[in-house]
């Protein structure tokens, strides 16, 4: 199988290479793709050296699947060109997520919507992925009316430049700034640009993507997204109002049985999800589960996942695995 990774030298791209290796994805020909500046340089994959391709070289190679993590403008220009040669494109940018003709997929939730005609498939926002993985089984049982989510997002979600800014600040080095403000010892209540309604683009992504993935426009979602000086994963405080009442033990049982979710909810032993423990893992961790005592049928919980893995690279590879398992990629 010919597999292209577009943006192979980036933060998410490098994790894609790790995940492909760990999952032993059936790669018979590997096509790493980077900018024209980087083309011709070498990159390691499975202990072998490969030459970085330009976008056009990769299209000409006619890969079976291309995993994209190179930004929205690149995806808008090049994803259709890959699709035209019969390639399945799984795109990690926001370019295609809300396109009505494209599927937005978290495999454990809605992979069944995919067909052989879906040549461009959108990978959701990292914060949305981890939230819907927990929401979906609870929605099936109790029917969600409204979700209020506040996120505490790692600097790795911005990229290498942001990680470097934080490290520079911690070491007293003046350097390039990824954010308008200092991030170390700080919390910045802005992720992406502000929109006319006062919300940020990131916040509205969570609102719209949740409805699309879960296939239910009746679910009300409101979000506040905050950048904090951590690595290892994004954290979310989620308040969920259901139409039906619930039993807490039943909630624990449902989440324990949910594929891709790990319950960490033993407060007697101070066990709860944290980026420190989610770092490098593919699962979504959930804990601090408790009834909201301020109103009926409402639940509070805390969700953490490695945003570079399940929030990006792992989800992308899982979509590719599904396509292979269903015989859509041959």
In order along the chain (330 residues), what is the average pLDDT of each group of 10 residues? 95 96 96 89 94 96 96 95 98 96 97 96 98 98 98 96 97 97 98 98 98 97 98 98 98 98 98 98 98 98 98 98 92
Name the pTM for this structure.
Answer: 0.96
What is the model's pLDDT at position 330? 74
- For the segment 220-235, what is each residue's pLDDT rounded down to a tens digit? 999 999 999 999 999 9
Structure tokens at 63: 């890969």
Cα four-point dihedral sign 48, 51, 54, 58? negative
Gap between the Cα atoms of 303 and 238, Å rounded = 8
Gap between the Cα atoms of 88 and 161, Å rounded = 30
What is the model's pLDDT at position 26? 94
Look at the block and give the residue holding tokens 């060109």: 81
Catalytic residues: 126, 234
C-alpha distances out from residue 264 to 129, 271, 274, 308, Å? 18, 6, 10, 21
Gap between the Cα atoms of 313 and 17, Å rounded = 9
Helices (H), the chain: 11-22, 55-60, 72-84, 107-110, 126-142, 160-170, 201-214, 248-256, 275-278, 314-325
- For the segment 89-125, what is each residue's pLDDT rounded down to a tens digit? 999 999 999 999 999 999 999 999 999 999 999 999 9
Gap between the Cα atoms of 51 and 33, Å rounded = 9
Gap between the Cα atoms of 155 and 11, Å rounded = 12
Could you give the 3-state DSSP secondary structure of residue 267? helix
Gap between the Cα atoms of 114 and 117, Å rounded = 8
Domains annotated for the chain, with CATH where assigned, are 2-124+312-325 (3.40.50.720), 127-307 (3.30.360.10)
């Amino acid at each position: 199988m010919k597999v292209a990774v577009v943006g192979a030298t980036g933060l998410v791209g490098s994790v894609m290479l790790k995940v492909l290796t760990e999952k032993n994805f059936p790669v018979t020909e590997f096509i790493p793709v980077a900018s024209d500046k980087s083309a011709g340089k070498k990159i390691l994959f499975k202990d072998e050296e490969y030459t970085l391709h330009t976008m056009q070289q990769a299209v000409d190679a006619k890969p079976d699947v291309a995993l994209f993590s190179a930004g929205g403008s690149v995806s808008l220009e090049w994803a259709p060109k890959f699709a035209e040669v019969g390639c399945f494109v799984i795109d990690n940018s926001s370019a295609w997520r809300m396109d009505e003709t494209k599927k937005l997929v978290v495999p454990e939730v809605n992979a069944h919507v995919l067909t052989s005609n879906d040549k461009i498939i959108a990978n959701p926002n990292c914060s949305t992925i981890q939230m819907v993985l927990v929401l979906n089984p609870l929605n099936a049982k109790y029917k969600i009316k409204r979700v209020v989510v506040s996120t505490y997002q790692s600097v790795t979600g911005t990229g290498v430049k942001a990680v470097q800014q934080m490290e520079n600040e911690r070491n007293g080095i003046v350097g390039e700034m990824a954010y308008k403000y200092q991030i170390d010892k700080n919390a910045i209540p802005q992720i992406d640009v502000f929109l006319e309604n006062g919300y940020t683009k990131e916040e509205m992504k969570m609102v719209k993507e949740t409805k699309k993935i879960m296939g239910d426009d009746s679910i009300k979602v409101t979000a506040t997204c905050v950048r904090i000086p951590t690595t290892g994963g994004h954290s979310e405080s989620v308040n969920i109002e259901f139409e039906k009442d619930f039993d807490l033990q039943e909630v624990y049982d449902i989440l324990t049985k949910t594929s891709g979710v790990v319950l960490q909810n033993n407060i007697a032993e101070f066990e709860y999800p944290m980026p420190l423990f989610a770092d490098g893992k593919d699962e979504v961790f959930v804990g601090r589960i408790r009834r909201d005592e301020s109103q009926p049928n409402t639940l509070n919980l805390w969700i953490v996942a490695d945003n570079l893995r399940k929030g990006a690279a792992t989800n992308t590879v899982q979509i590719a695995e599904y396509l292979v398992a269903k015989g859509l990629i041959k």
